[in-house]
Amino acid sequence: MTTVNPTVRLADYGDKYEHIKLERRDGILQMTFHSGGDSFRMSGLGHAEIADAFYHVGADHENKVVIMTGTGDAFSANWERGSFDKSTADAHARIHYEGRRILHNLLDVESIVISAINGPSIVHPFPVCADIVLCSDNAAFQDNHVAKGGVVAGDGANIIWQHLLGPTRGKYFLLTGQLLSAQEALALGVVNEVLPRDKLLARAWQLAEQLAQKPQTTLRYSRLVLNQHYRRLMLDDLSFSYGMQKLGQATAAPKSSDPNWGTGAKS
Amino acid identity for residue 45 in this structure: L
Distance CA 41, CA 79 (A): 5
pTM (two decimals): 0.91
Per-residue pLDDT of 53-80, as tens digits, reads: 999 999 999 999 999 999 999 999 888 8
Chain segment 133-185, per-residue pLDDT in tens: 999 999 999 999 888 888 888 889 999 999 999 999 999 999 999 999 999 99
Q: Which residue has the higher pLDDT, 147 or 6?
A: 147
Give the mean model confidence (pLDDT) for residues 9-19. 95
Q: What are the backbone dihedrals phi and psi of residue 89, each rounded to the nearest 5 degrees, phi first?
A: -60, -40
Mean of pLDDT values over 213-228: 96
**How many helices and strands (H and E) does the chain possess?**
8, 10
- Place 267 in a pLDDT band, splitting at 50, 70 and 90: very low
Higher pLDDT, 253 or 236: 236
CA distances from 49 to 25, 42, 79, 125, 226 (A): 22, 10, 15, 16, 26
Q: In the structure, what pLDDT confidence band is assigned to residue 239 with cuts at 50, 70 and 90? A: confident
Helix H or strand E segment including 95: helix 89-108
Model confidence band, residue 124 (pLDDT cutoffs 50, 70, 90): very high
Which of 180, 85, 80, 188 has its CA nearest to residue 138? 180
List of domains in the chain: 10-249 (3.90.226.10)
Q: Report whether pLDDT(92) > 50.
A: yes
pLDDT range class, residue 2, cuts 50, 70, 90: low
What residue type is 260 in one-letter code?
N
Residue 207: per-residue pLDDT: 98
Work out the number of other CB atoms within 10 angstroms of the CB of residue 180: 23
The number of residues making up the chain comes to 267
Q: What is the mean pLDDT of the chain?
A: 91
Angle between helices 89-108 and 44-59 (to 10 degrees): 40
